[in-house]
Amino acid sequence: MKISLVYHVFIVFVVFFGLHFSAISNASANPRYASIILEESSGKILFSRNADKQLRPASLTKIMTLYLMFEALQQKKVTMDTRMKVSRVAASRSPSKLYLKSGHTITVKNAILALVTKSANDVATVVAEHLGGGSEREFARKMTRKAKSLGMSRTIFRNASGLPHSSQYSTARDMARLGMAVRRDFPQYFHYFSRTQFNWNGRKFKNHNRLLKIFRGTDGIKTGYTNAAGFNLVATAERNGVRLIGVVFGGKTGRSRDKHMVSILDKQFKRVKPIQVKRLPTTSLPAPRPIEILQATAKSVPVPVRAPVSAPSRPAKAPLSLATTTLLPRILDAPPQQWSIQVGSFSRRISAHKAAISARRTAGTVLTRRPAQLSLVVQGQIPLWRVQFRKLDEGEARAACAALFSAGSACIALPDDILAETS
């Protein structure tokens, strides 16, 4: 009887601790694994595993390459039709590639599409050499500097493609920040990440991001793979006004990576409540200055509001009710030499108002006498209040953003003619 009891206790011990150690083993079986899910509007972390562990980014690197390309487009250093020359070095890059030939050229637009869909390494080098003064190494330095300015503190880039390099690494958290930055800073170009295919010289290349087809609400952004990194993915998806961004590093296969991303995104969508946008009555805020109508499109209903400053230089216009739903014609186009900054979008008008005050305080003398403009826009059927400061020169806009970045605040600077296209 005693022997039988001891035997059963032994069995229980073995089973329990065997399972325990097995669980530990499984958790550490994949040292390349990391993940994170963020809610975009708040930046709240909903799920994370090893989010700050430095790992190989693989072709997620190309998201930064594209960020700098979008920046060059925004600054009008290139156009979509600009032709970039293919060097011997670029042509020699290993697959995935378009098999570009040395001496040939490729347009900026085709380069963007090739990076998003095919993840072409030869194209990444072409972009790097074109924007880096002929040097991919110099371009990689620019990538790293930009990463630091975006808060990607644990990221170092050594090339534009993500091809293996011993000192090139990033984290799940940093890549989530990059994904959010691309959407925030370049909304006019983000749609390229949702392209499902790219036609080149009679060949059709499909986007490697399968979530665009298998997970409802997905609209970007990029996959990555090397032997050292495993299968990586950054993805954004929106449901019921809630937008999540997810990152997975180190998948053992592309299919298992996608399955895992779908699982963690789906769980968080079920947990997060849809955004409930409340329109505040104008009486809840101090009486605003007269409102100037800038422009409106089918996707936006801007209602810019002047913050308390000295008398405006042009005659005041009649106030516009927040309840107005009629689309307004384009009646003002800011001159190209003028710049603006945008410091955020908010679901509540009062939050936007506070952000404008905080930005003016943080940026100091640059924004002291500049009007803050609050614009009501609609994104994905969700009304948001956008905060902008306009009528700056380029130096003032960049100085203001630099001050805001230093304080940990978001800021984008761009010419008013480009801003008008994206409003």
Domain ranges of the chain: 34-271, 282-309+323-422
Q: Does domain 34-271 have CATH number 3.40.710.10?
A: yes
| Active-site residue, 161 included | no
Helix, strand or coil, per DSSP, at residue 421: helix
Q: Does domain 282-309+323-422 have CATH number 3.30.1280.10?
A: no
Helix, strand or coil, per DSSP, at residue 306: coil
- Max alpha carbon distance in the chain (Å)? 100
Which amino acid is present at 301? V
Give dist(CA 129, CA 25) in Å, integer.
Answer: 44
Length of the chain: 423
Give dist(CA 111, CA 106) in Å, integer.
Answer: 7
Q: What is the pLDDT along the chain (423 residues), one digit of tens a residue?
A: 445 554 554 444 444 444 333 433 444 489 999 999 999 888 889 999 999 999 999 999 999 999 999 999 999 999 999 999 999 999 999 989 999 999 999 999 999 999 999 999 999 999 999 999 999 999 999 999 999 999 999 999 999 999 999 999 999 999 999 999 999 899 999 999 999 999 999 999 999 999 999 999 999 999 999 999 999 999 999 998 899 999 999 999 999 999 999 999 999 999 987 754 443 333 333 333 433 333 333 344 344 444 444 444 444 444 333 333 333 333 234 345 688 888 887 777 787 888 888 888 888 788 877 778 888 876 555 677 888 888 888 888 888 888 887 777 778 877 876 655 444
Task: For residue 346, report the phi and psi dihedrals to the nearest 5 degrees.
Answer: -135, 145
Contact assessment for residue 46 and residue 268, using Cβ atoms and an 8 Å cutoff: yes
Give dist(CA 397, CA 340) in Å, integer.
Answer: 6
Q: What is the value of pTM for the model shown? A: 0.64
Catalytic residue among 35, 53, 59, 96: 59
Query: Helices (DSSP H) in 250-348: which residue ranges?
Result: 254-271
Give dist(CA 204, CA 224) in Å, integer.
Answer: 20
| Active-site residue, 59 included | yes
pLDDT number for residue 4: 53
Q: Give the CA count within 13 Å in the CB-facing half-sphere of 123.
A: 26
Catalytic residue among 62, 97, 142, 146: 62
Give dist(CA 353, CA 133) in Å, integer.
Answer: 42
pLDDT number for residue 279: 39
Give dist(CA 307, CA 361) in Å, integer.
Answer: 13
Q: Cα 398–399–404 angle (5° rounding)?
A: 95
pLDDT number for residue 277: 41
| Active-site residue, 119 included | yes
pLDDT number for residue 380: 54
Catalytic residue among 35, 119, 340, 375: 119
Give dist(CA 152, CA 41) in Å, integer.
Answer: 18
Contact assessment for residue 56 and residue 227, using Cβ atoms and an 8 Å cutoff: no
Structure tokens at 101: 């030939």
Nearest one of 212, 217, 210, 207 to 251, comparing CA atoms: 210
pLDDT number for residue 316: 43
Cβ neighbours of residue 178 closer than 8 Å, sequence gap 6 or more? 63, 64, 67, 147, 150, 152, 234
